[in-house]
Chains A and B, each alone.
Chain A
Amino acid sequence: DVVLTQSPLSLPVTLGQPASISCRSSQSLVDSDGNTYLNWFQQRPGQSPRRLIYKVSNRDSGVPDRFSGSGSGTDFTLKISRVEAEDVGVYYCMQSTHLGTFGQGTKVEIK
């Protein structure tokens, strides 16, 4: 089974400053079709999750451009260029190359 390991698990950030979350997979997420199905989700307090990034680096419709995704193979990163108050919540990476697996989640809070 694929295991996704996120770090850090808690991320206190100052408003306006950048933030970065790492997601490492126990095996390559490159599919036989050549795509890498690594997604990033945001879950704000009391809300259902929503996807921010699909296939490593593609932003979903309506997602602010301060969110970006990068990486390849087994190592992936979500970056927020300038954190805003509405970005508070838990962020999850999720792979769908090998069925489905979520990372443990990273809680982003304002310092």
Chain B
Amino acid sequence: QVQLVESGGGVVQPGRSLRLSCAASGFTFSRYAIHWVRQAPGKGLEWVTLISYDGNNKYYADSVKGRFIISRDNSKNTLYLQMNSLRAEDTAVYYCANLATNPDYWGQGTLVTVSS
């Protein structure tokens, strides 16, 4: 069955970096654009970034532009999110999501806590 499994979350100090991964299985990963969406504790959903199926096109929310980098390795069926210069307001559960299929597919999320 289709699975998206995020990993790499944890506690990190402000200003430091963290890399998240999203391992995909059960579908042809290389055919689809994939999103990262985050949710701060007790808050709503925030769209973060999107990468095209081939990795050639990347789009970012203003709140993370210049700090976060999305990438993918289609040979490994894996999506990445490199998060640099982290701030307290980046604290959230980060989801990867395939919204290009019907139905859509989401991971269970990985929690990133930015705190000193």
Contact = CB atoms under 8 A, between A and B. Distances in A.
Nearest to B107: A48
Contact of B35 (A43, A48, A63, A100): A100
Contacts of A69: none
A48 B95 contact: yes
Give the residue among B59, B106, B108, B109 with the most A Cβ atoms within 10 A: B106
A99 B45 contact: no
Nearest to A100: B47
A50 B45 contact: no
B99 interface: yes
Given A60-B102, A102-B47, 18 more contacts: A41-B45, A48-B107, A48-B108, A49-B45, A49-B95, A49-B106, A50-B103, A60-B103, A61-B103, A62-B103, A90-B44, A94-B45, A94-B47, A96-B99, A99-B50, A99-B60, A100-B59, A102-B46
Contacts of B99: 39, 51, 54, 96
Taking residues whose C-beta sits less than 8 angstroms from the other chain, chain B's interface range is 20 to 34
Contacts, number: 56
Interface string B29-63: 00000010100000011110010000000011110
Point out which of B45, B46, B108 has the most chain A C-beta atoms below 10 A from its C-beta.
B45
Interface in A1-50: 1, 39, 41, 43, 48-50
B103 A100 contact: no
Contacts of B35: 100
Contact of A50 (B50, B59, B61, B106): B106
Q: Which of B37, B60, B108 has most A Cβ within 10 Å?
A: B37
A102 B103 contact: no
Contact of B102 (A48, A61, A103): A61
